[in-house]
Structure 1
Amino acid sequence: MAEANGDKTLRRIADEFKELATVVADSPSADLEVASFSRACSLVSPLFACLGVAFKFAEMDYVAKVHDLADASKSIHTLQSLVDLDVKGDSVRKAGSHTRNLLRVKRGLDMVRVLFEQILVTQGNSLRDPASKAYEQVFAPHHGWAIRKAVSAGMYVLPTKEQLLRKLNEDEASAKVQMQSYVTASTPLIQYIDKLFVSRDLGIDW
């Protein structure tokens, strides 16, 4: 059982993303603040660490990209402005651009969404099937053979679902509620970010 007064990572994630979802649900052209977005995304970082070596690449990449967006929030107010500034500067696809980093962070959020979806519908204590499906759906199309092979090997040393929940200070009942809450809240948010790219003819598959 999770400690009554312990740090509830999943609850904090779910609550933050519900707030973001409320913003983007108000209007398809809503302005989402870079600061609030990066703050919510930073709460997701520990999840990658909890998954171990299979997602070490994702943890390192995701954390670095979120830090970049947090720094950007000091001078850029909204995600729309962030993307538009890179479009104007013709730097959207350049390594290290805020827009490129936003796309990478979005994939991290999407991977967690699929992982949670799969955990919720998969019986047993193993995370291998949920994690494999999440990786294959979100990350694998963008990775070369070497990374895919390393991730595949890492799947054999994933924590069990019980171990993951213990690391997150959750019991199974409460974890299911928070995971479903994140899935529900992150879906319109991910769609919102995709529209930022598609509406500017930038694509989302690079």
Structure 2
Amino acid sequence: MYDQPTLPAFCEDVEERFLHSLGTIFSFITKDAVAKVQIMEGYSGGGERERYASLQSMVEYELANGLVDVQKRGGHPESGCRTVLRLHRALRWLQLFLEGLRTAGEDARTSTICTDSYNASLAAYHPWVIRKAATVAFCTLPSRNAFLEVMNVGTAEEAVAMLGEALPHISDVYDITQELFAQHDLLNLP
């Protein structure tokens, strides 16, 4: 089992390392994710900050105090568990997309990689209209090499190398959260 990351570090990693490195091309996704990260930063810096020091402590605190809508009635829309679950799902899309970019050939279509990643992760949680809008937006993505260069880490080859280093860390965070939320039956919160 992995060590539990601190919640503030998780939020910083999502926002700083991954979302901003994608640039303005994904502003429609990063805007929503940044809003969720800000909610979590509020919890981890607020009056109950010790309760939000790690994912484990957050889950235990919110479940013990009825702050999570496990009955699927629509209550507690900004609970930490629900908010992290939304970030967790977005992280899965990001993980699949970046792995696809890393392993695809130079002539691969970024739009196809992105659409396949979206369909394997986030699409299941979005209504038809959002799915169609996302698919159309993905068609505007540049070629794979141009996209890798937009990530601002150097050449396409340097970006691929950086992804090779970053993806195991993304996988670790995803796996930790997946395991914790599965243990507490929180993977299907409304």
- Distance between the aligned counterparts of 1:183 and 1:204, measured in 2? 25
Aligned to 2:89: 107
Amino acid at match of 1:184: P
Aligned to 1:193: 177
5+ residue gaps in structure 1?
1-26
Q: How does 1:27-176 map to 2 (within 5 A)?
A: 27-28=1-2, 30-43=3-16, 44-47=18-21, 49-52=23-26, 56=28, 58-74=29-45, 75=49, 76-93=52-69, 94-123=76-105, 124=107, 126-169=109-152, 170-176=154-160
Count of matched residue pairs: 176
TM-score, length-scaled by structure 1: 0.77
Higher relative contact order (CA 8 A, sep 6+): 1
- Distance between the aligned counterparts of 1:127 and 1:51, measured in 2? 12
Q: Deviations over 1:70-120 (max 9, x none)?
A: 222221211111111211222223311111111111122211110111112
- Distance between the aligned counterparts of 2:117 and 2:22, measured in 1? 12
Percent of aligned pairs sharing the same letter:
20
Q: 3-state DSSP class of the match of 2:123?
A: helix
Range with bigger deviation, 41-50 or 140-149? 41-50
Cα RMSD between the aligned structures? 2.0
Give the one of 154, 159, 162 matched to 1:178: 162
Which portions of structure 1, spanning 4 or more consecutive aligned residues, are displaced by more than 4 angstroms?
none
Q: 3-state DSSP class of the match of 1:166?
A: helix
- Distance between the aligned counterparts of 2:164 and 2:188, measured in 1? 25
Q: Deviations over 1:153-172 (max 9, x none)?
A: 11221132233233222211
Q: 3-state DSSP class of the match of 2:121?
A: helix
Q: 3-state DSSP class of the match of 1:151?
A: helix
Range with bigger deviation, 134-143 or 192-201? 192-201
TM-score, length-scaled by structure 2: 0.83
Amino acid at match of 1:191: D
